[in-house]
Amino acid sequence: MSETVTRIQVGGTAGTEPYEVLVGHRLLGELPGLVGPRAKRVAVVHPEALAETGDALRADLAEQGYEAIAIQVPNAEEAKTAEVAAYCWKALGQSGFTRTDVIVGVGGGATTDLAGFVAASWLRGVRWIAVPTTVLAMVDAAVGGKTGINTAEGKNLVGAFHPPAGVLCDLGALETLPVHDYVSGLAEIIKAGFIADPVILDLIESDPEAARTPAGPHTAELIERSIRVKAEVVSADLKESGLREILNYGHTLGHAIEKNERYQWRHGAAVAVGMHFAAELGRLAGRLDEATADRHRSVLESVGLPLHYRHDQWPKLLETMRVDKKSRGDLLRFIVLDGLAKPTVLEGPDPAVLLAAYGEVGQ
């Protein structure tokens, strides 16, 4: 029986190179074809948790005749540092990596962000391929070419737009993902539902418990729909000159929470609280109807994502939000909804409204 592989094109407009996101099972055989004939060397960047997978990919590529090395990096957010990037640069330098050689990032969003950034910065840009192994990386991080690392001042403050040459979403990888990480990825899926594709919300609401596992009946559809949302946005606005900002829904507060928690919270969990906040902000600013704001609470809670954060942290969170990339000068800017699937920018909200919105979130 032939297996279904869905191919979603990204880019190819406004002078950008097109590439494909493949979604299906047993896709790793596609990797050598994506690496291509020009490369002599391939570096497989993987987190500690995926040491076996990283080594298996390295061995496959070596069998195909490439000089393949594996670069193991820390799990999760600990990989997104200047020190770890420098460690990767050293490994590339020592193996004689040239402009025609290729980096493969296999792992969650933290690994693909790092691997993409290393690819963007090495020799001012080499080809890279993303093999996302978490829900979140499949539907969001690995697609669209935003790469980067954190600094002491905040999240993703250093990075580059450097799209991959291809993305392989092998759904089989999700079998080993802890449920906590699986659910964290649902936050970005729910984000895609609120900003662009409400069918996503209907599918989750039809059976929230099933949505929490890769065995659920709608897993592939939820992942594919979310990728299509992302693909459409980044194809129209790769460098975030406008439309792409909608993908930051829930992230202004979410990133501040992640920093405040020293990155011990998963990104998706922080973004879930951030979306709750954005919904309240939209409602209190007179943009969003009450039913849609309530729907944020119900759908996020139904899959086990958090809605609340510490009340006493507001002054610190506000300070961090000032260096959010959407800020312009002293002007804070938030993505809010004018209604379901109608994202828009709220600039310089009244501080009293901001505080009132946090009043619904803080505990």
Q: Which position among 46, 58, 146, 283 bears the catalytic label?
A: 146
Catalytic residue flag (residue 124): yes
Catalytic residue flag (residue 295): no
Judged by CB, which is closer to ligand LNCXM5UN: 106, or 139?
A: 139
Residue 103 pairs with which residues in a beta bridge?
43, 128
CB of 99 to ligand LNCXM5UN, least distance (A): 26
Q: What is the binding site for ligand NAD (CB under 6 A)?
A: 47, 49-50, 75-77, 80, 107-111, 113, 133-134, 136-137, 140-141, 144, 146, 156, 173, 176-177, 181, 184-185, 188, 266-268
Rounded CA separation 146/267 (Å): 15
Catalytic residue flag (residue 41): no
Per-residue binding string, ligand LNCXM5UN, 181-220, x by CB under 6 A, is -------x--------------------------------
Instruction: Tell whether the torsion through CA atoms of 286, 292, 295 and 299 is positive or negative.
Output: negative
Rounded CA separation 206/225 (Å): 16
Annotated ligand binding at 111? The verdict is yes
Rounded CA separation 147/238 (Å): 12
Identify the three-state secondary structure at position 198: coil
Q: Which does 49 bind (CB under 5 to 8 A by kind): ligand NAD, ligand LNCXM5UN, none?
A: ligand NAD
Annotated ligand binding at 113? The verdict is yes
Among 118-126, 127-135, 219-227, 247-255, which window interacts with ligand LNCXM5UN (CB under 6 A)?
247-255
Instruction: Tell whether the torsion through CA atoms of 121, 125, 128 and 133 is positive or negative.
Output: positive
Annotated ligand binding at 155? The verdict is yes
Rounded CA separation 317/300 (Å): 22
Judged by CB, which is closer to ligand NAD: 79, or 293?
A: 79
Question: From the list 53, 133, 156, 292, which residue makes contact with ligand LNCXM5UN (rule: CB under 6 A)?
Answer: 156
Write the burial class of residue 340 (CB in 10 Å: 0-12 exposed, 13-18 middle, 19+ buried): middle
Question: From the list 244, 259, 287, 333, which residue makes contact with ligand LNCXM5UN (rule: CB under 6 A)?
Answer: 244
Is the distance from CB of 234 to CB of 248 less than 8 angstroms? no
134 touches ligand LNCXM5UN by CB under 6 A: no
Judged by CB, which is closer to ligand NAD: 109, or 349?
A: 109
Among 50-58, 90-98, 138-146, 333-341, which window interacts with ligand LNCXM5UN (CB under 6 A)?
138-146
Annotated ligand binding at 125? The verdict is no
Q: Which position among 46, 127, 191, 267 bears the catalytic label?
A: 267
**What one-character-per-residue DSSP string does 44-84 give?**
EEEEGGGHHHHHHHHHHHHHTT-EEEEEEE-SGGGGSSHHH
Annotated ligand binding at 48? The verdict is no
Among 44-52, 117-125, 213-221, 241-249, which window interacts with ligand LNCXM5UN (CB under 6 A)?
241-249
Is the distance from CB of 123 to CB of 99 less than 8 angstroms? yes
Judged by CB, which is closer to ligand LNCXM5UN: 244, or 276?
A: 244
For residues 172-196, one letter each, b for 16 or more C-beta atoms within 10 angstroms of the residue's C-beta and e for the rest, the string is ebbeebeeebbbbbbbbbbbbbbbb
Annotated ligand binding at 188? The verdict is yes
Q: Which position among 58, 244, 283, 295 bears the catalytic label?
A: 244
Identify the three-state secondary structure at position 97: coil
Please report the beta strands in the chain, taking only residues with DSSP state E, as ranges in sequence order: 6-10, 19-24, 41-47, 67-73, 102-107, 127-132, 146-151, 154-161, 166-170, 333-337, 343-347
Q: Which residues are annotated as a binding site for Zn(2+)?
A: 188, 251, 267
Q: Which residues are annotated as a binding site for NAD(+)?
A: 109-113, 133-134, 146, 155
Give the interface with ligand LNCXM5UN as residue ranges (CB under 6 A): 140, 144, 146, 155-156, 188, 240, 244, 247-248, 251, 325
